[in-house]
Amino acid sequence: MTRRLWKPQKTSQQRSKTEVRRIIFTLIAVVSFSAALAQWLHAQEGSSAFEPTLPNKARAPGKAPEGMVWIPGGEFSMGASTNGHGMDEMPMASNDAGPIHRVRVDGFWMDATPVTNGQFEKFVKATGYVTIAERTPTQEEFPTAPAENLVAGGVVFAPTDHDVPLTDHYQWWSYVKGANWRHPIGLQSDIKGKENYPVLQIAYPDAEAYAKWAGKRLPTEAEFEFAARGGLSGKTYVWGEEFRPNGKWMANTWQGKFPVKDTGDDGYAGIAPVKSFSPNGYGLYDMAGNVWEWCSDWYRPDYYKTLTDKGGVANNPKGPDSPFDPAEPNEKKRVHRGGSFLCNEQYCSRYIVGTRGKGEVNTGTNHLGFRCVKSP
Ligand SMILES: [Ca+2]
Ligand SMILES: [Cu+2]
């Protein structure tokens, strides 16, 4: 009786429960499909996706050598997204800094700052070393150069007196007779009172000679980037995601119209003494901006693709076996990292961590320096 009344009720209830269940299952299906779709889309980006940095757990092996800090090493995602990872545009910057790939480096000590004029002077006093920029180039080295061009010097930036198209860097770079580490922008300049400024006009062999004397070596590009990221994962800058957190300037870069006038809003028009800006998460200064720094890797724009194609995690990568820059195929170039006081979003925003620079090994400039590392 009640049963008869009850039964249909139950049936209708069951039906509605079934419907509810069906709706729930449909919802679950839609949600999981969306999740799967999102995952698939993410996988399509694949190579441009950063994964967490996994620092090694081991403690520093003993006391840090003077002026150096311990970088734990570990596994991290290396490189920069082609669009600058959040920037609207990043001219010239990162077409050679992809794909993002997984790398592992061992722990090492790293100079907390770029090598300074004061430190380099000690090396020169102790060894009598003569830098490349101080040596007169020979006819054998440059068989086609007119004799009057065979003078010692370095490459120097000079602002232009009017707006120029940013397609020809010879408008602001020139070879200046007598420019060397003691006279960074030419004979009229000097380094008096600038012991704490990064040393400039340093060619690769000069940096190597200093490192050897100091019982150190130059960092690999992977070591430099691991250190620069300061324990963060896939951030745009060595300090985080915002260029000026709370309005604070975090690195020495260029403000104003490039290459006409650097307004120096960050406190420095031109080079700054080391430690003028906050250190990164590992206690390293100037890992972005101020001066470019030599790395020991040969430069090839396709190196990250080579590593990605191999698959897996690249273990302590040391760069390709030989250099090749399609833009200047006859020049032997090594990697530069970090960007300089000339970097700006109008022309070259390579203070963005993960982006790469490059330079002919015998060429020093007035925005290029170096720092050393040491394995335990
Ligand atoms: Ca500046
Ligand atoms: Cu730059």
Q: Is 69 helix (H, G, I), strand (E, B) or coil?
A: strand
Sign of dihedral through CA atoms 348, 349, 353, 355? negative
Ligand 1 centre from 341 Cα, in Å?
A: 5
pLDDT digits (tens, 9 = 90+) for 166-200: 888 889 999 999 999 999 999 999 999 999 999 99
Looking at residue 27, its pLDDT comes to 53
Closest among 360, 167, 200 to 286, alpha carbons compared = 200
- The one-digit pLDDT tens for each residue of the chain (376 residues) are 333 333 333 334 444 554 545 555 555 555 555 555 445 444 444 444 899 999 999 899 999 999 999 999 999 999 987 543 334 444 444 478 989 999 999 999 999 999 999 999 999 999 999 999 999 999 998 888 888 889 999 999 999 999 998 888 889 999 999 999 999 999 999 999 999 999 999 999 999 999 999 999 999 999 999 999 999 999 999 999 999 999 999 999 999 999 999 999 999 999 999 999 999 999 999 999 999 999 999 999 999 999 999 999 999 999 999 999 998 999 999 999 999 999 998 888 899 999 999 999 999 999 999 999 999 9
Ligand 2 centre from 290 Cα, in Å?
A: 10
Q: How far apart are CA 86 and CA 278, in angstroms?
A: 23
The percent of residues in the chain predicted with pLDDT above 70, rounded, is 84
Looking at residue 88, its pLDDT comes to 41
Q: In CATH, which superfamily holds the domain spanning 9-374? A: paralog of FGE (formylglycine-generating enzyme) (3.90.1580.10)
Ligand 2 centre from 92 Cα, in Å?
A: 9
| Residue ranges covered by each domain of the chain | 9-374
> Which helix (H) or strand (E) covers residue 105, if one does?
strand 101-105
pLDDT digits (tens, 9 = 90+) for 76-97: 999 987 543 334 444 444 478 9
Q: Which residues surround ligand 2, an ion (CB under 5 A)?
A: 339, 343, 348, 350
Long-range residue pairs from 274-278, CB within 8 A, at least 24 positions apart, any chain: 274/113, 274/114, 274/116, 274/196, 274/197, 274/198, 275/113, 275/196, 276/252, 277/249, 277/250, 277/251, 277/252, 278/239, 278/248, 278/250
- In sequence order, the 6+-apart residues with CB closer than 8 A to the CB of 332 are 298, 323, 360, 361
Ligand nearest to the CA of 254: 1
Ligand 1 centre from 271 Cα, in Å?
A: 7
Ligand 1 centre from 343 Cα, in Å?
A: 9
Give me the phi and psi of 207, to 5 degrees please.
Answer: -65, -40
Ligand nearest to the CA of 344: 2
Ligand nearest to the CA of 253: 1
Ligand 2 centre from 350 Cα, in Å?
A: 5
